[in-house]
Amino acid sequence: MHSITTSETIDVLSEKSVGKSHLGLGKLMFLGIMAGAYIAIGYLAFIRVSGSTPKEWGSFSTFLGGCLFIPNWLISYHIFGWGVSHR
């Protein structure tokens, strides 16, 4: 696995920010709507998991829901957001 330094990370983020600042209004609005949809899907998965676990599990159900919410967002970003921002 390739690891980059902190300064390289800042350089890459700066390049991506400049690239995104040149996107049109329509594409930015579309990306914003899709980001909201991904967050909503992740939260629905969280509710589904945390609501269907037994009460005896206590806060472990919240942990399980969080285990679905974060990866859902990351996977959705890499499948959709990464490809759109590079076109």
The tokens describing 28, both together, are 């930015």
3: exposed, middle or buried (C-beta count within 10 Å: 0-12, 13-18, 19+)?
exposed
* Cα 70 off chain centre by: 7
Question: Can you tell me which residue has the tokens 């970003």?
Answer: 77
- What's the rounded Cα separation, in Å, for the pair 23 and 35? 16
**Residue 80's pLDDT band (cuts 50, 70, 90):** low
Q: What is the pLDDT of residues 1-37, one digit of tens each?
A: 577 788 888 888 788 778 778 888 998 888 788 878 8
> pTM for the complete prediction?
0.59
Tokens representing 20?
């995104």
Cβ burial of 80 (10 Å; 0-12, 13-18, 19+) is: middle
